[in-house]
Chain A
């Protein structure tokens, strides 16, 4: 790196400014960066895309035909439902928490505490989060035992924690803080003057939310919901730690196809499944960006 930088300095020093010949030596210094990302980010992505379209007979769509299998459809459907439910629950609850934060002192310790906690909790996932919930409402967890002593058996209809419904509860744990972080700037953009203006025109609270704040916040809210959807849809670690067997959701299915745990070992199929996931996530993220831009107009 040093040699490259020194070299480019020597090269450029004697040359006149401007002209096409200057360009290459300046670019030398950024080549390691592009080279590295080429190998460890772009190449894996290309391997996934390539692997999805190439099989033993060459170029074709045979790997993608796996998407027609009932167990694949159900895994993706489960993922979509799981992501949608936790995104909506996280968005609504997160928005309520964000509003509770915003309605307080903007420079207060409390707000600082909540945003910091959200910053940590939004990334709290994987094995630790799964364990936290097992220790809480697993069959030996103290909340479960306490509820049972008081006559409420949450597992009366089966042990749902290690199931899709368990994932719904556990995912909500990181979805709410993520929503707070994403939605807080939009709520900060709402001016108290707008409420005063509504009131001076005779509007009540309902009318303020329905005709003023609601429409202003809607793009931010739906955008954030999409982000939460992508977040839950692509999550793997928490589900892997919580769900012991089976491929109930798409990310677990991809993992099991890769590691041949279900006798399905096939890199081509795994690539096809991964490609479908990345296309779905990318689509959602593009929509999120569009809505985010719309929100940005009000956030000055």
Chain B
């Protein structure tokens, strides 16, 4: 590469990074700026909006509901997906393509379409089962499937499931022992990543909760936005920071072990690459 071209490339890169960096960082900085404004233009910076988050009852109940949903969804995802994926790998590989297809299907069915079909189902659930917001966990489990599937699949591919399970079985372990005490400890990074992604998705979900008339975190923020813009923006920033921390944790867990480096890079960019999820 000639020197002139190298210099041109360098200038090009610097310009691109500065312009793009500004485009992406300024709106986030603007939220911080907005959330610390006082009641009038002349009043000094204040954290009162941040402090009043806890004193807004509809907000705190929505935050608790969203956190509970995140927990339920993660547990449900692990219980439903992990044994199925291991079992499919070991005993019924014939259905592996079908399982993959179903897990990735929520990418092609937009959340807004899914919710049109879910409305009658949730009507039935709220009449006959429960009208608690926690029932949203059922559909959130479907929303997180593509994210969780890809992560878990990478995790399973990185270990020799067949040899591990055959060794354990030949020593007399039951299938439950094989899964819980042999395979799961070998793929805990993937399990943790799948949980973090699920939590991030659930905390950001708006579409389905809004249209099924449940007040989760994002819906509460949107409603509050009409009444008290500063506080709602403060919560939005807080939620964003939480999601950001989760994802930073995601990109750092399991780094020391070789072979999982690919996984964690795949984790974050795989997360970004997904459509659906009801986040956008």
- Which A residues have a C-beta under 8 Å from some C-beta of B? 1-2, 5-6, 8-9, 26-27, 29-30, 32-34, 36-37, 39-41, 43-48, 51, 93, 96-97, 100, 103-104, 112, 115-129, 131-136, 140-143, 173-174, 176-178, 181-182, 184, 205, 227, 230-231, 234-238, 240-241, 251, 254-255, 258-259, 267, 270-271, 273-275, 277-278, 281-282, 285
| CB<8 Å pairs between A and B, sample of 6 | A5-B179, A6-B176, A29-B92, A44-B118, A103-B9, A251-B110
Chain A residues, Cβ within 8 Å of B210: 237, 240, 255
Decide yes or no whether B114 CB sits under 8 A from chain A.
yes
- A119, B83: Cβ atoms under 8 Å? no
User: Is the C-beta of B200 less than 8 angstroms from some C-beta in chain A?
Assistant: yes
- Contact status B117-A274, CB under 8 Å: yes
A121, B275: Cβ atoms closer than 8 Å: no
**6 tightest A-B contacts by CB?**
A44-B117, A234-B110, A122-B272, A119-B268, A125-B280, A135-B34
Residues of A within 8 A of B142 (CB): 37, 40-41
Summarize B's interface: helix, strand, loop or mixed: helix
- A30 & B26 in contact (Cβ 8 Å cutoff): no
B280 and A235 form a contact (CB under 8 A): yes
How distant is B141 from chain A, measured CB to nearest CB, in Å?
7
Q: Which single residue of chain A is at the shortest CB-CB distance from B88?
A: A30
Is B20 engaged at the interface, CB distance under 8 Å to the other chain?
Answer: yes
- A contact residues around B200 at 8 Å (CB): 123
Q: When the two chains form their complex, are residues A234 and B272 in contact, meaning their CB atoms are under 8 A apart?
A: no
**Bound CA span A234–B118, Å:** 17
When distances are taken between beta carbons in the complex, the residues of chain B under 8 Å from A36 are 80, 141
What interface size band does chain B fall in?
Answer: 35 or more
Closest A residue to B233 by CB, please name it: A131
Residues of A within 8 A of B92 (CB): 26-27, 29-30
Closest chain A residue, CB of each to CB of B210: A240
- Given A131-B236, A235-B280, A277-B113, A116 and B30 touching (CB < 8 A)? no
Residues on the A chain within 8 Å of B274, using CB: 123
Closest chain-B Cβ to A189's Cβ sits at a distance in Å of: 16
Point out the residues of chain B lying under 8 angstroms from A8, CB to CB.
175
A273 to B279, CA, bound (A): 21
Residue of A nearest to B278 (CB): A237
- Cβ-defined contact, A124 with B218, below 8 A: no
Q: Is there an interface contact between B12 and A100, defined as CB atoms closer than 8 Å?
A: yes
- 14 extra interface residue pairs, beta carbon distance < 8 Å, beyond A29-B92, A112-B265, A255-B211: A30-B92, A41-B102, A43-B117, A97-B20, A119-B268, A119-B271, A123-B204, A127-B222, A128-B239, A131-B232, A237-B278, A251-B110, A277-B110, A285-B108
A224 to chain B, nearest CB (A): 10
Q: Are A123 and B116 in contact, CB atoms less than 8 angstroms apart?
A: no
Report yes or no: B174 in contact with A6, Cβ–Cβ below 8 A.
yes
Please determine whether B221 and A127 come into contact, CB atoms closer than 8 angstroms. yes
**A292–B109 alpha-carbon span in the complex (Å):** 19
Q: Report the Cα distance A129→B175, complex, angstroms.
A: 46
Cβ of B34 to closest chain A Cβ, rounded Å: 4
What's the nearest-Cβ distance from chain A to residue B259, in Å?
Answer: 17
Query: B residues within 8 A CB of A117?
Result: 24
